[in-house]
């Protein structure tokens, strides 16, 4: 589920919400799945992964991550990303391009303190994407973090927090049975959205 707050009145944001509502009503599974692509300057390659899009606040798309993960290091060295949502129940794909940055520490703290303790324990115990000898060791580290903090609230570690991006490009793709797909593009130009259609 994605939370919308003070959503920007501009057309691409309202169109996003319209399609989200349709997908939600259609019981779309994993509706918050967002594929984010980044560029690794070190390896000279593009990297992609799914994250959980938690909220859209005004123009900001928000998700959370380990700040020491490969994607976070890539964001730091190259802050241009692309992102894709696909809602299969309504056959709609939404492509975005943006610059990404960390959310404020206060924002991350507030989100962390309102999360389930079990999720926070994993955020603390996992050195995301680093090699480990076995899955059992992952479970042991997680269990140890929970047990050692059984009577207290967990504090957000400095290496975990939010990311926000504001799209400067949207493409709304609506698949049609006859493949005459509808593709509408919005590009930010000098503070205004330039809107047009592109061919299938």
Distance of CA 69 to the CA centre of its chain: 14
Task: Give a yes or no: residue 139 inside a domain.
Answer: no
Query: How many residues appear in the chain?
Result: 200
Q: How many domains does the chain have?
A: 1
> pLDDT of 167-180, one tens digit each?
999 999 999 989 99
Query: Which of the 8 DSSP states describes residue 115?
Result: S
Task: Give a yes or no: residue 44 inside a domain.
Answer: yes
> pLDDT of 8-30, one tens digit each?
999 999 999 999 999 999 999 99
Task: Give a yes or no: residue 136 inside a domain.
Answer: no
Task: Give a yes or no: residue 168 inside a domain.
Answer: yes
Query: Which of the 8 DSSP states describes residue 6?
Result: S
Identify the CATH number of the domain in which residue 49 sits: 2.30.110.10
CA distances from 70 to 39, 51, 116, 126 (A): 10, 13, 25, 13
Task: Give a yes or no: residue 175 inside a domain.
Answer: yes
> pLDDT of 105-144, one tens digit each?
999 999 999 998 889 999 999 888 899 999 999 999 999 9
Task: Give a yes or no: residue 89 inside a domain.
Answer: yes
pLDDT confidence band for 162 (50 / 70 / 90): very high
Task: Give a yes or no: residue 123 inside a domain.
Answer: no
Indicate the pTM of the whole model. Answer: 0.93
Query: Residue 191 is part of which domain span?
Result: 3-114+157-198
Query: Which of the 8 DSSP states describes residue 154?
Result: P
Kindly give, in sequence order, each residue whose CB lies less than 8 Å from that of residue 175, ignoring residues fewer than 6 positions away.
91, 92, 93, 181
Task: Give a yes or no: residue 47 inside a domain.
Answer: yes
């Amino acid at each position: 589920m994605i939370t919308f707050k003070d959503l920007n009145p501009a057309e691409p944001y309202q169109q996003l919400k319209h399609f989200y509502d349709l997908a939600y009503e259609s019981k779309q599974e994993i509706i918050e799945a967002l594929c984010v692509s980044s560029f690794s300057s070190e390896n000279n390659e593009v990297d992609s992964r799914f994250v959980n899009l938690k909220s859209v606040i005004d123009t900001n798309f928000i998700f959370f991550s380990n700040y020491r993960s490969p994607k976070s290091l890539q964001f730091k060295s190259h802050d241009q990303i692309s992102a894709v949502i696909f809602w299969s129940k309504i056959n709609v794909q939404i492509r975005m391009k943006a610059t990404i940055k960390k959310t404020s520490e206060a924002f991350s703290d507030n989100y962390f303190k309102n999360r389930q303790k079990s999720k926070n324990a994993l955020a603390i115990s996992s050195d995301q994407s680093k090699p480990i000898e076995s899955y059992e060791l992952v479970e042991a580290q997680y269990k140890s973090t929970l047990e050692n903090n059984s009577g207290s609230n967990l504090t957000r570690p400095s290496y975990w927090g939010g990311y926000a991006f504001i799209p400067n490009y949207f493409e709304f793709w609506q698949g049609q049975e006859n493949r005459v797909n509808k593709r509408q593009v919005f590009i930010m130009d000098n503070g205004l959205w330039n809107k047009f259609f592109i061919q299938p």
